[in-house]
């Protein structure tokens, strides 16, 4: 798994925001089981919340491995693609947990994409977020919790 520089992560998520960042292999399927906790470490009750997730293809440039991790510039991809919804399963809202499914085959990356070449200087990139929309409750107003996402897709050395 790639290590990203703090500056790169800040470029995507801003300061002090949660982010899940990773490097995936073309056509990889995986998942992350996530649990939101209160400050005391107990699972946060998300009853009534709606959880959604979307990502969008991005243009990466100047990718390099520095002593502080991967650094690169990220920009809008041209032509602008449509957002891709990610699957949220295994929701246990009262226990504050859910699963984010990563199925790269649904992201419309083609095996002939030149950014998947084994020697590509700038790999395929996606950014997005998980939105946990918590409804108002009593005097507590509605709240959206945002977790940013950043994925790089690399060739497996066999494909392309």
Q: What is the pLDDT of residues 15-24, one digit of tens each?
A: 778 888 888 8
User: Does the pTM of the predicted model rise above 0.75?
Assistant: yes
Residue 66 is predicted with a pLDDT of: 74
Q: Which two tokens stand for residue 57?
A: 């293809």
Residue 133 is predicted with a pLDDT of: 96
Q: Which two tokens stand for residue 41?
A: 């470490």
- Regions of the chain with pLDDT less than 70: 1-2, 5, 105-106, 108-116, 156-160
Residue 158 is predicted with a pLDDT of: 65
Domains and CATH numbers, the chain: 6-154 (2.60.40)
Residue 160 is predicted with a pLDDT of: 54
Q: What is the pLDDT of residues 115-152, one digit of tens each?
A: 667 777 778 888 999 999 999 988 989 999 999 998 88
Phi, psi of 130 (to 5 degrees): -105, 130
Q: Which has the closest alpha carbon to 160: 111, 101, 124?
A: 111
Residue 49 is predicted with a pLDDT of: 96
Cα distances (Å, whole numbers) of residue 44 to 17, 92, 96: 18, 11, 5
């Amino acid at each position: 798994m790639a290590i990203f520089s703090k500056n790169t992560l800040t470029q995507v998520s801003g300061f002090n925001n949660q982010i899940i960042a990773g490097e995936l292999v073309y056509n990889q399927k995986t998942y992350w089981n996530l649990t939101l906790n209160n400050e005391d470490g107990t699972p946060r009750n998300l009853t009534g919340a709606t959880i959604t997730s979307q990502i969008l293809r991005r243009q990466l440039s100047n990718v390099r491995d520095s002593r502080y991790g991967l650094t690169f510039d990220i920009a809008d991809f041209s032509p602008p693609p449509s957002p891709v919804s990610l699957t949220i399963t295994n929701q246990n809202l009262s226990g504050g947990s859910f699963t984010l499914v990563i199925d790269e085959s649904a992201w419309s990356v083609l095996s002939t994409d030149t950014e998947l070449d084994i020697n590509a200087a700038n790999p395929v990139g996606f950014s997005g977020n998980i939105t946990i929309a918590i409804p108002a409750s009593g005097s507590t107003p509605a709240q959206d919790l945002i977790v940013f996402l950043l994925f790089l897709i690399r060739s497996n050395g066999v494909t392309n």
